[in-house]
Amino acid sequence: MRTQLILLAAVLFLGAGCSGSKPQFYWFHPDKNFDEVKIDYTECEGQAEEESWKIVDREYFDRLRSPGALADEKTTKKARKKSDDPAAQAKEEWREVYKQKAFDGCMESRGYVRLRAYQVSDGLKKKELPLGAIAGRRPN
């Protein structure tokens, strides 16, 4: 449970910073061009999707509260409809947390680093994607 709360805090912290127009960070590998970065992103995204489903299928979510409910009980109660299944909502929200963590681990295992927007030079090609922005050298 403590690990889940730490994961939740990290996700909420990163999510709070993503509300602006610029990404919080870019995934970058010094030896790869933009096309290679896109390929790695796609592979890691698929891996993370698969891993997140495996994790939530193994866990018990009937009484587990969603990350949103843990973060802000009042907002979640107002936003939740009576017809919503709290267990399904918790399962989906936790799956997204697990997916992001699995994606981050995959990119890091391939040698990628996170660069803040001000660290990314104008000469790099950039693109914002659902699990994080990417940057790489322009293809020759």
If one compares 110 and 91, the residue with the highest pLDDT of the two is 110
- pTM (global) more than 0.75: no
Give 123's DSSP letter: T
Task: Report the C-alpha gap between 81 and 47 in whole angstroms.
Answer: 32
**CB contact at 8 A, 123 and 16:** no
For residue 71, what pLDDT is reported?
60
Q: Is the pLDDT of residue 101 over 90?
A: yes
- The residue extents of the domains of the chain are 2-136
Six token digits for residue 111: 């040698």
